[in-house]
Amino acid sequence: MYSGKHPFLHDLHKNRTKWLMLVPAAVVVILMCYIPMAGIVLAFKEYNYHDGIFGSPWAGFENFKYFFKSGKAWLTTRNTVLYNLVFLCINTFLQITCAIMLSELAGKKFKRVTQSVMFLPYFISWVVVGAFIYNLFNYEFGAVNTFLKGIGAQPIDVYSNKRAWPVILVIVSAFKNVGYGTVMYLASIVNIDGEMYEAADLDGATMWQKIRYITLPCIRPTVVILFLLAIGTVLKGDFQMFWQVTGNNPMVLDVTDVIDTYVTRSLLTLQEFGMTSAAGLYQSGISFILVLIANHIVKKVEPDYALF
């Protein structure tokens, strides 16, 4: 009866239960992602609340000009990219190191406890991490300054110290993410064929040789791929971390402001819709291109791991 129709309509009828089961998830995605995507035009408009996204007058590239001339474009892009690269390198190094150590460690109990403890920070909210930062670095009462005063050193005022923040942010990022990545790499180390290690043992290989010539080469594809995919998101800062850890402290914005915090702050305080959506489009446009490039490379190196 439907044979004469388009195959899609035919399938829509034949598999109607399946299509209906997709509807709720599709509606959420359409509402939360696809319709706002159409709002990209806002970047080219002079927004006013009354006329809405589509009714407001066109502004050409004015919003982009404003964003790039403000000096914020370069500053936030630089911060976002540099922080992400440093986080990526340091966290990956720590994750792989911890995973290798955990995989070879003899003491079962020690292994379980350390793995659990290092994974724990992943589960707490960034608000709580913000409380940790306050607790540690508050100028008057902070535990770090209590310690410094205790050993007779000068207390430090991190809230006006620009050099302190890159260090703090790197440590916080490691604190929150190393456990997660360790679990991930541990899984790929456990998957390595045990016979290789046995053969190496028979040949009298040392621990270091086994790590150097078996473990590392075996997890290399995973590392390379995760690294490449992370490059694709290098323009997306971890908004919640930057917002909560630095507390939007205006004194150190030069070294802590990333694109996401800048956009959110401008949106909430200045209600600067046109320019912020231009900044947002700049970010997601370049991110999209980077993901495509990264995926293209992954496809060449290791087709099984490609995203699409």
Partner 1 sequence: MQKKKQNKSYDRVMFNLISCLVLGILSVACVIPFWLVISGSLSKQQSIQLYGYRLIPREFSLDAYRMLFKIPEELLRAYGVTILVTVVGTGLGLLITSMAAYVLANRNFRYRYQVSFFFYFTSIFGGGLVPWYIFNTKYLHFHNNIIALILPILVNVTYLLILKSYMMSIPESLYESAYLDGAGDLTVYFKIALPLCKAGLATVGLFIALNYWNDWYNAMLFLDEGSKDLYPLQYYLNNILTKAQAMNAAAARSGIPASEVPGEPMKLAMTVVATGPIVLLYPFLQKYFVKGVTIGAVKG
Tell which positions 60-99 bind partner 1, by CB under 8 A: 94, 97-98
Q: Are 287 and 259 in contact (CB under 8 A)?
A: no
Q: Are 139 and 145 in contact (CB under 8 A)?
A: yes
Rounded Cα–Cα distance for residues 164 and 295 (Å) = 36
Could you tell me the end-to-end alpha-carbon distance of the chain, in angstroms, rounded to an integer? 36
Min dist CB 145 to partner 1, Å, is 6
Min dist CB 269 to partner 1, Å, is 12
Binding segment toward partner 1, per CB under 8 A, in 68-76, 84-92, 110-118, 158-166: 110-118
Please pick, from the candidates 96, 178, 245, 252, the single residue that binds partner 1 as defined by CB under 8 A: 178
The beta strands (E) that lie in 189-308 are given as: none
270 binding partner 1? (CB under 8 A): no
Q: Is the sign of the CA dihedral 102, 107, 108, 114 positive or negative?
A: negative
Q: Which of 306, 281, 291, 293 is nearest to 232 (CA)?
A: 291
Binding mask 193-232 for partner 1 (x = CB under 8 A): -----------x-xxx-------------x---x-----x
**Which amino acid, one-letter code, is at 60?**
G
Min dist CB 288 to partner 1, Å, is 5
Binding segment toward partner 1, per CB under 8 A, in 68-76, 77-85, 157-165, 275-283: 275-283
Return the structure tokens found at 226: 């995760």
**Which amino acid, one-letter code, is at 268?**
L
Binding segment toward partner 1, per CB under 8 A, in 38-46, 70-78, 81-89, 249-257: 38-46
Closer by beta carbon to partner 1, 8 or else 58 = 8
Please pick, from the candidates 2, 9, 13, 29, the single residue that binds partner 1 as defined by CB under 8 A: 29
Min dist CB 77 to partner 1, Å, is 15
Q: How many CA atoms lie within 13 A of 117 on its CB side?
A: 8
237 binding partner 1? (CB under 8 A): no
Residue 269 CB-density burial (10 A; 0-12 exposed, 13-18 middle, 19+ buried): exposed
Min dist CB 237 to partner 1, Å, is 12
26 binding partner 1? (CB under 8 A): yes
User: Could you identify the residue written with the tokens 């971390």?
Assistant: 241
55 binding partner 1? (CB under 8 A): no
